Amino acid sequence: MADWQRVEGSVTAPRGFQAAGITAGLKPSGSPDLALIYSESEAIAAGVFTTSAVRAACVDYCRQRLQAKASARAILCNAGQANAATGEQGWQDAMETATLLGEALKISPDEILLASTGVIGQRMKMEAFRAGIPQVVAALDSEGGDRCAGAIITTDLVPKAIALETHIEGRPVRIGGIAKGSGMIHPNMATMLGFVTCDAAVSTTLWQEMLQRATDQSFNQITVDGDTSTNDSLIALANGQSRTTAITEPGPEATKLEAMLVEVCQYLAKAIARDGEGATCLIEVRVTGAPSDAAARKVAKTIVGSSLVKSAIFGRDPNWGRIAAAAGRADVPFDQNRLRIHLGEFKMMEAGQPLPFDRVAASDYIKAIAAQSSSTSPTGQLIQDLDHPLEITVDLGNGSGSGLAWGCDLSYDYVKINAEYTT
């Protein structure tokens, strides 16, 4: 049984954090587009970012800030313009926003981290930004987590947010998180945009290591379309407001905190995969019998990222041959004569041999998962059922390594959404 419970509040659930989300006029739609997370005290900061050679100005800005000083007080995020591939002027725009926010919050710009999302090649609308910064600061609230989550999304159908609580030294400790992402999802060392807050006291080095390991088990294991973004950023703040003893080295408290961090990151990662552009269901691939956990994760992500596998799931076609083919090209050695494949409860291959199975029933299983995942609330909002994904299990028979990956099916709507993205 998990040693934590879910609580309300997302990034404002941990003590000492406020958040806001407003409409500043950055999106043509008029939807909320400017978000702010603020820690009332200095927080240890960790970050994981895109490895793309084409990066947004905010990514380079955050990297420089965190290399100089691994702490921060605020994260400002705009939606609408990516400020990527915008040259020197894009960098100057990022610097100006940090300066303006520092003035509004009465803190140093060095204590501010930035994130952007939207169309690549477009600068931020600075006139709207200049007017919006004082407004978003004025809107800061200890219950503003949900509004913040809603202001960072673009093509997402729903905001993504969670908060968990555990106890360390008999005191409650919380981690909250929000994320955005629906397309251009194939992270390499990061997520699309993700922000995590925590009120535990933890050392700089340990917090960064925890975040990296959590990323490897969550955001690095999702894919929607195989495209890594120019803006991928995952930023985590820990401000110590729980008043627990600082966690500075591995041990029971560190293990407990990291396990909760992984749970938060995996929830947000699965929510992104389920909300993939045009998707009708969440797919979970579990690989066992690999030479190592890293190898298992690699095979799992290759399978869930296969366009052929994804298309078959959308067509409700239990074509397990595509699963076997994807596993075989993952560049992880195994003996195909030991390969075992399940789709849900349907065993399709054993010891490298195809098995007879009820194809109609297997197709109905896929249909049932998709129908369950596509339900909506009375307001028409998608209900994300993350506890009942379509399950693919592959055993390589070649070791004790295991790993998970998540993705979604590939539908006609994905092409439509992205064919018309800027028009």
Residue 407 contacts residue 222 (beta carbons within 8 Å):
yes
Q: Which of 117, 154, 191, 215 is catalytic?
A: 191
Could you give the dihedral angle defined by the CA atoms of residues 205, 207, 213 and 217, in that order, rounded to the nearest 10 degrees? -170
Q: Where are the beta strands (DSSP E) in 199-316?
A: 222-223, 233-238, 282-290
> Of 174, 179, 211, nearest to 45 (Cα)?
211
Tokens 């800061």 — which residue? 140
Residue 17 contacts residue 73 (beta carbons within 8 Å):
no
Report the residue count for the chain. Answer: 423
How many whole angstroms separate alpha carbon 292 and alpha carbon 371?
35
191 classed as catalytic: yes
DSSP H helices in 35-165 = 57-68, 87-105, 126-138, 145-151
H-run or E-run covering 402: strand 401-408
Side-chain-side CA neighbours of residue 237 (13 Å): 29
The three-state secondary structure class of 413 is helix
Could you give the dihedral angle defined by the CA atoms of residues 283, 287, 293 and 294, in that order, rounded to the nearest 10 degrees? -60
Residue 73 contacts residue 43 (beta carbons within 8 Å):
yes
Question: How many other C-beta atoms are found inside a 10 Å radius of the C-beta of residue 175?
Answer: 28
How many whole angstroms separate alpha carbon 227 and alpha carbon 307?
12
Q: Which residues have a catalytic role annotated?
A: 191
